[in-house]
Amino acid sequence: MPRPPVERPTPETTPHVVAGAGLARGIGGYRPIEDYGLIGDAQSAALVASDGEIDWLCLPHFDSPAVLCRILDAGKGGFLALRPRAAVTETTRNYLPASTVLRTMLFTEEGALMLTDTMPVAWDDFDQLLDSNWTGKGRHRLIRLLQSDTADLAVELEARIGFDFGATIPEVELVPGKGAILAGGHGRFLTFAWPGELRHKGDGLFAGATTLQTAEPLACVLAYSEDRQSAGAVLDEGDWTAQVEVTDRAWKKWATTCAVTGPYRDKLIRSVLTLKLLTFEPTGAIVAAPTTSLPERIGGVRNWDYRYCWLRDATLTLYALLMAGERGTAQAFWRWIERTCAEPGPERMRIMYGIHGESELHEWELSHLSGYRDSSPVRVGNGAWHQRQLDVYGELLDAYAFYREHVEGDGPLNTVDPELWTLLRAVADYICEIWREKDRGPWEVRGEPRHFTYSKVMCWVGLDRAVQLAAENDLPCERERWARERELIRAEIMERGYSETAGSFTMAYGTDQLDAALLRLPLVGFLPADDPRMRATIERIRDELGHEGLLWRYVAEDGLPPGEGAFAICSFWLVDCLTALGELDEAQALFERMLGYANDLGLFAEEIDPATGAALGNFPQAFTHLALVDAGIDLTAALAKHAPIRGDTAARARQARDGTPPNG
């Protein structure tokens, strides 16, 4: 199928410089999706544009209604902008080293404004890293420190703040010299702390000004509370700089636990930090992305809410974090799985859940928002929650088997939790019952169910890992039945999932259509990458779904109007396949080409526009970053050993860690 030519962006020699940013906001008042940076507190997150404007923030949690959402409606959406009064001529920005604290410099002829943005962390494992007198305060707040390199720099504030994606106009109480308190009903309050002049112009629109003195930072704060007294108390706090410094130290300390080395370490650590920002600390859930409805095609309808926990995405995120040396997130996730999935059992297990464990995520549209660059509808909720996707059962068992191996010998972690095993055993039994059924596949198509090859492979993986877990830990189960069904699944895949006519594995039984998810087959240990059938599949995917390293997921009817970008995760899967084949020069070239599609802060969306290199879809996306980490760690190890890294995730992790020879 012919594809438009791709003009890949050339990495700038100074990638953190955005010349002229702040002079204009782009097409129709919208910044490019890749223009944003991410800050967060592992409960929610904000998007900060290169001109220092914050255009997305949900409080108190990822899935809460947005209080700032200009990214979804440039005319009506909320925002928080701080800028010098003089014209901005250039901006630069960067994360502080090994941290999620974001620093933006806005240069003018009169001086420079430095913005330091963060959302303070306050969860238990971070508290242990902090000062002994740290009280844990600082939840649900965004802090912006303003500082100047010259005396008497005039600064302006402009903001629109509302509840419920701007549909609920707040009641505003101005507190002279301190800021304002906004009430949104239903026990929702926002504290808007600002030490300078502040005027409320109505409908949640604010304007303010102040003058910065050299080396005297001021703070602008937006904080969420559930009662008026707590909201008022925020205005009397004066330790904003200390909260930012403590948060920065905590992230730096956490990053030192990441066992990542090699030439790509900084890129990998940035992705690991991004994945950590997408975890929801109160429960252990992991969101796919912190945003909703950023389009997969400008003007298109593939605009989805990703602020939820997909079991597939979350388990793949665990691989990346564990391979990077981070274990706390995995432990919290498995506790969340026990709480969320154990009681209903596998028959009622969903493919995705709300971050608080909600099992029904009904989808509706926000008609009052026009959508990013008029890409409507804007959706809340996700209708895929009720789909049948057979691969998730295998993803769950595969992830736990890897988790068990990765923490082997670590005291109590070396004992399989009986309640969790009860659930996983039931999942394996359930795979035996349902693997012959049709489903919607890993890409959750909204068309008719089919026998998707990848789904069948992951059913095989699930039983393979269940047999392995039971044998290694002498666990009670129907191991012989699992082994028998595992071989039946494999035989059927080899007969019906492989097309002699096409000379490759195919998207589904009875078709010669391709699916980039088939690149996962050697990565989960179903077949070696150098098996002739697998090698041919890899080559066919590159030829028919690819263009200059970018890959489409598939070219097939999926129940929706056509139009989406190339899926970045698929290209990183291809890097892993090339690494497994021992084609290391090609793997390295593709990996570095893909790194060039990140924004200046190292962040990726779900998709890439093949014609322009622009980011598409929700941002930043866990899928892309986890695949970058996996591919980067494998490639680094392969380059160091001058040998392929191949096999399933556990085998590749062993090879990367201690040089165990690949076993195919």
Q: Could you report the per-residue pLDDT of 401-413, keeping only the tens digit for each?
A: 999 887 754 544 4
Q: What is the CATH number of the domain that holds 175?
A: 2.70.98.50
Residues 33 and 77 in one domain: yes
Residues 494 and 635 in one domain: yes
If one counts every other C-beta atom within 10 angstroms of the C-beta of residue 242, the result is 14
**378-431 pLDDT, tens digit each:** 999 999 998 999 999 999 999 999 998 877 545 444 578 888 999 999 999 999
**Domain endpoint, select from 203, 218, 253:** 253
In a domain, 4, yes or no: no
pLDDT above 60 for 362: yes
**156-197 pLDDT, tens digit each:** 999 999 999 999 999 999 999 999 999 999 999 999 999 999
Q: What is the CATH number of the domain that holds 605?
A: 1.50.10.10
Handedness of CA 432, 287, 297, 3 (dihedral sign): negative
The CA distances from residue 151 to 108, 109, 111, 158, in Å, are: 13, 13, 8, 22
* pLDDT at position 5: 29
Residues 464 and 592 in one domain: yes
Structure tokens, 587: 């793997």
Gap between the Cα atoms of 158 and 362, Å rounded: 35
pLDDT above 60 for 663: no
Q: Tokens 């129709």, residue?
A: 28
DSSP state of 170: P
Cβ atoms of residues 604 and 625 within 8 Å = yes
Residues 206 and 325 in one domain: no
The C-alpha angle 443, 446, 451, rounded to 5 degrees, equals 65
Cβ atoms of residues 506 and 497 within 8 Å = yes
Mean pLDDT check: name the lowest of 301-310, 455-464, 473-482: 473-482
Average pLDDT score over residue span 361-374:
96
pLDDT above 50 for 595: yes
Residues 448 and 531 in one domain: yes
E strand or H helix that includes residue 82 = strand 79-84
- Cβ neighbors of 495 (< 8 A, separation 6 or more) are none
In a domain, 365, yes or no: no
The C-alpha angle 273, 275, 280, rounded to 5 degrees, equals 110
In a domain, 559, yes or no: yes
**Domain endpoint, select from 212, 233, 253:** 253
In a domain, 192, yes or no: yes
Residues 288 and 329 in one domain: yes
**538-573 pLDDT, tens digit each:** 999 999 999 989 999 988 665 555 568 899 999 999
**Residue 96 domain boundaries:** 17-253
Residues 514 and 551 in one domain: yes
* pLDDT at position 412: 43
In a domain, 369, yes or no: no
pLDDT above 70 for 125: no
* pLDDT at position 109: 93
User: What pTM did the predictor assign?
Assistant: 0.93
* pLDDT at position 126: 52
Residues 276 and 350 in one domain: yes
* pLDDT at position 660: 56
Of the candidates 648, 634, 635, which has an alpha carbon nearest to the alpha carbon of residue 529?
Answer: 648
pLDDT above 90 for 484: yes
* pLDDT at position 446: 77
* pLDDT at position 408: 52
In a domain, 1, yes or no: no
Average pLDDT score over residue span 337-362:
92
Instruction: Write out 359-398 in H/E/C secondary structure.
Output: CCCCCEECCCCCCHHHCCCCEECCHHHHCCCCHHHHHHHH
How many domains does the chain fold into? 2
In a domain, 664, yes or no: no
Gap between the Cα atoms of 24 and 9, Å rounded: 21
Residues 383 and 467 in one domain: yes
Residues 458 and 521 in one domain: yes
Mean pLDDT check: name the lowest of 118-127, 228-237, 633-642: 118-127
Whether cis (ω within 30° of 0) applies to the bond prior to 449 is no
* pLDDT at position 560: 57
Residues 233 and 275 in one domain: no
Residue 483 pLDDT level (bands cut at 50, 70, 90) = very high
* pLDDT at position 414: 57
**70-85 pLDDT, tens digit each:** 999 999 999 999 999 9
Residue 15 pLDDT level (bands cut at 50, 70, 90) = very low
Which of residues 576 and 128 earns the better pLDDT score?
Answer: 576
**Domain endpoint, select from 238, 253, 268:** 253
Residue 327 pLDDT level (bands cut at 50, 70, 90) = confident
Residues 448 and 564 in one domain: yes
Q: What is the largest CA-CA distance in the chain?
A: 78
Residue 9 pLDDT level (bands cut at 50, 70, 90) = very low
High-pLDDT (> 90) share of the chain, %: 80
In a domain, 131, yes or no: yes
Of the candidates 115, 112, 121, 30, which has an alpha carbon nearest to the alpha carbon of residue 79?
Answer: 30
High-pLDDT (> 70) share of the chain, %: 91
